[in-house]
Structure 1
Amino acid sequence: MYEFITRSLIIILCFIMLLVPAQADHLDNIDQLVSDTSAGLSALGGKTGTLMSKEEDFPAGTSVCDWTAIALALSGSQENYPRYLQNLQKYVETNYEKNGGLDHIKSTPYHRIALTALALGSNPREFGTKSDGTPIDLVADGTYAFAGNSIGDQGLNGWIYALITLDAENTQISGDVKFTREDMIHAIISAQEPDGGFGLIKGKSDVDITAMALQALAPYAQKYPLVVDHALAYLSGEMNEDCLYSAYGTENAESSAQVILALCALGIQPETDMRFCRGENTLLSGLKRFHKEDNTFGHTQEDAKGDFLATAQVLLALTALQKLYSGNGRIFDFTDYTGPNLKPDHGIHYAIALFILILIVLIIITRKRKKHAQNNR
């Protein structure tokens, strides 16, 4: 009987050990890389999992902090998102009360905060209340009902993120509005430069803006295939032999991250599409050059420490790649999204289970040996 139990427990033990992820090179495993980068980004604030609670050091409503919150939430990192949402809503309400809105020239603050609210599981169309008691609609105020002269007054990125925000939940526009979805699409495609790229201002293409434009146009790629192909050709041509991109003469992680986001939005696998490979080098292998020992990413390869915004953008790109490989759609598609999909750390559970089983096996074997010794006296 003891022999049967011992053998059964050993079989169960071996089965559980098979379930434990192999400790292979984590940089070659996209899931592990997402998890490690998420933990590294969170730990930049001190202790992992506490970044969203640091109100003074990590103020809600600022660009870097909001994009970091988006990246952490979409990657499934354990954080205090309710606290950040509370502070973010307070920031929005304060600006609406004092200034009548977030900005009267730049539309992107509306887009960024709307996307942050979505990523953290809130409703950007009812994000706090105005002084008259009506709900604050960040989507409307930043897109079709923008109070400024034009969504694009700040540059092409205004039109780009207006369209991304509008399509994040497939918001339908009805009635007589100031800016239509078609206005946004037209503003973007008409800004394409002769070389296929897009720029913040007319006359100069930029890798980051081109990648962002493709992210916005991704849902309409079949309608504008020539625009998309021309932009992809530009991005391919700008990539060097190490599969890296330069901005203002400096190779940087953010540009590569934006290109990966664009390719994933279009359903293109960055690691296999030959337009974005140079021999054995790929966009992902190029991105790893910016990786730091603490699982953050630097803005440049020479940076001694990880950078908040660079790591956040890389994490978004890796999460988009993860979604692409698992068939879960575009990273900024929130139509079936309910909030951060927090991933529990099963490692401790595996360790406890293994320890208990090993302990049981040892106890049984010890008892069996004692009984055997007694019988042979």
Structure 2
Amino acid sequence: MLREKGISRKVCAIVCSIVMALSLFATGVNLDTIVAKADGVVTATITYTAQFDGSFKDVKVGADVSSDTAEKYGYNDPVSQSDGVSILDVLVQIHKDIFPEFSADNRDEYLTVANKGYGLGVDTNIFKKGGAACGYYKNHVTSNNLEAKVANNDVVEFFYYQDTTGYSDSYTFFKDVTTDEGYVSGKLVRYELDVNWTPVETPVAGVDMGWIDVDSLDLQNANPYGMSSLKTKDDGGFAIEIPNSSNSYMLTVYDGNVNSTPLVRTLYNGVHSAANVDTKPLSLQQKQDIYETTGKYLADNNKSISYGDSKEGYLLGLGRAGYPVDSNLYSGYYDSVKNYLASHNNRFESVSECAKVVIALNAIGYDPTNINGVDITQQLNETSDPDSVWEYAYALIALDSKQYNSSARDVYLNKLLTAQLDSGAWGWNETAADIDTTGMVLAALAPYYNSNSSVKAAVDKALNYLSASQMPDGAFASGMNENANSTAMVVLALSELGIDAGTDLRFIKNGISVVDALCSFAVQGGGFGWLDNVVVNDYATYQAYYALCSYFRHINGMNRLFDMTPEKNIVAATTSNKVTSVPKTGDRFLRLL
């Protein structure tokens, strides 16, 4: 948890421009942001900051924008000149100020807007970025309507997502800002998207506050201006001393390195969602309790699963853990697979879909080689179908789950080895390193580690990458967000490789193991959260559960999670570091079909 620093109170002169800056500016997290406030209608005087490509680009105080600005540059402005200054007018003026070379002739290189009735979005390019990953907030409410007009005291923030793959960026802003006796106080909050993609306001804790000199654009903290730099509290609250200087400043957040270029995106560095959970070392019994509670939660909330529900991960965890479930859960899923095959020419839409079903059926004790006489494992041999790292991994895991004879095995194995990045990681799109994908690939490569030198070299390189990527609290992040899913995939990878994720020193940071970190996302009463331990997320829950299943199977000397051949060495755990109550699966669930 965060330790609050003392705040000494002192009275100093408050420069008017500083007070105005506090009321006008918002700072983006992991977003490229423009902030503008309109003081007029047909001719508007705005103040804005330009922040993108990881630094402050420009600050304009008192920039005039006329209602014909967009038209002068050849844009079709949906707001008439006599009706007021439009969002598009402000956006064009900002580009004019940031990019001196911006003109009516080269405008499309810098700024293009959609003309299909949906404003900023598809077919839109801002800040010379290309693509459609942009939008804006007006008074902290998201909008894409270019027909909107600016009014006095409006705050408009244009942004461009830096993460154009997973869109993990968070829109962050200051609220409830006040000044008192030489200090500025308020809260730092951000919008997170919930499971329904609805923005939810969430406090941002544990980040450093600072000031930006409007003239030099330099980031300042305690030196040389005698300013206090404090971290935001658990509720996002802060109180920071106003600079004792006649210069104009803007409140901002930064990464703690005053010598670096002022950054927007670094607000989230080292903080992530770990501020929302209390991570601490756990006893083996505490982990076991979380494991069993999660199994109960999954069993109680999944009385029926059919093919097409995308819940093969639930079946994998529950089946391999041997958790008691409703008598019709597994048979109902099997019947739905039979029905699907009968109506789809005995095929699945893709090899990866087939692989997931093979894995799930093996986990719950059904034979995928004889479903009404159909051997669905034969579809795994169609090596021309899979076209992504995840699909290669799924196919290889499915083939190895029961050691099916297949010439496709070497093809998938080589595709995975070839797709490894220079960093040692794998990426779902084979270009950008990704923790989750790396974990899944390592699980697929695990059976070959001791017999294939190329695999061993690739795995060792990937483990170095993962160890270096682990956060100080033991968790792992996807993009800039620490989360249960990424952490679970590392636990899975280590366990499948025969590495104790609870004791291996490479994966313990500040006394907290990656298993401890995973368990910190467990919600009281059952389930796991994605970014915190408050709201249950189904995807995080089943990934965390089968990762813990893999972990407990490993420390109890059982087959790997994905090795569903008969148990080779079921050990009755008796030593102090083993839990004797871990359920044992294997052939005891085998049904004669």
Assess same fold via TM > 0.5: yes
1:339 deviation in Å? 4.5
Between the two structures, name the one with larger relative contact order (CA 8 Å, sep ≥ 6). Answer: 1
- State which structure, 1 or 2, has the greater radius of gyration over its C-alpha atoms: 2
1:319 deviation in Å? 1.2
Letter in 2 for 1:89: Y
Q: Does 1:98 align with 2:343?
A: yes
Residue among 285, 305, 327 paired with 2:516:
285
Q: Does 1:325 align with 2:555?
A: yes
1:340 deviation in Å? 4.7
- 2:306 matched residue in structure 1: 59
Give the structure with the larger strand fraction: 2
Residue among 180, 189, 195 paired with 2:408:
180
1:293 deviation in Å? 1.1
- 2:535 matched residue in structure 1: 305
Aligned 1:152-191 pairs, distance under 5 A: 152-153=386-387, 155-173=388-406, 180-191=408-419
Letter in 1 for 2:297: G
Deviations for 1:31-61, whole angstroms, at most 9, x for unmatched residues?
3332222112223x2xxxxx33x3xxx4344
Letter in 2 for 1:108: S
* Aligned residue pair count: 287
- 1:138 matched residue in structure 2: 376
1:74, 1:119 within 8 Å by CA — same for their partners in 2? yes
1:158 deviation in Å? 1.0
- 1:354 matched residue in structure 2: none
Task: Give identity over the alignment, percent.
Answer: 25
CA distance in 2: counterparts of 1:339 and 1:66, whole angstroms: 20
Letter in 1 for 2:403: N
Structure 2 residue matching 1:185: 3-state secondary structure: helix
2:306, 2:337 within 8 Å by CA — same for their partners in 1? no
- 1:71 matched residue in structure 2: 317
Deviations for 1:232-283, whole angstroms, at most 9, x for unmatched residues?
1111122110111112322111111111111011111112212111121111
Letter in 2 for 1:164: I
2:498, 2:554 within 8 Å by CA — same for their partners in 1? yes
1:102 deviation in Å? 4.7
- 1:226 matched residue in structure 2: 457
Pick closer, same or farther for the CA change 1:27–1:274 going to 2, 3 Å: closer
Unaligned runs of 5+ in 1: 1-24, 46-50, 130-134, 174-178, 342-377
Letter in 2 for 1:98: S
Aligned 1:258-269 pairs, distance under 5 A: 258-269=489-500
1:123 deviation in Å? 0.2
Q: Does 1:236 align with 2:485?
A: no
- 2:351 matched residue in structure 1: 107
Q: Does 1:249 align with 2:504?
A: no
Structure 2 residue matching 1:209: 3-state secondary structure: helix
> What is the root-mean-square deviation in Å for CA atoms of aligned residues?
2.1
Letter in 2 for 1:335: T
CA distance in 1: counterparts of 2:446 and 2:430, whole angstroms: 22
Give the structure with the larger helix fraction: 1
Deviations for 1:90-119, whole angstroms, at most 9, x for unmatched residues?
333333333324544x32211111111111
1:324 deviation in Å? 1.0
Letter in 2 for 1:68: Y
2:290, 2:519 within 8 Å by CA — same for their partners in 1? no
CA distance in 2: counterparts of 1:253 and 1:139, whole angstroms: 31
Unaligned runs of 5+ in 2: 1-281, 567-585
2:549, 2:561 within 8 Å by CA — same for their partners in 1? yes
- 1:217 matched residue in structure 2: 445
Structure 2 residue matching 1:125: 3-state secondary structure: coil
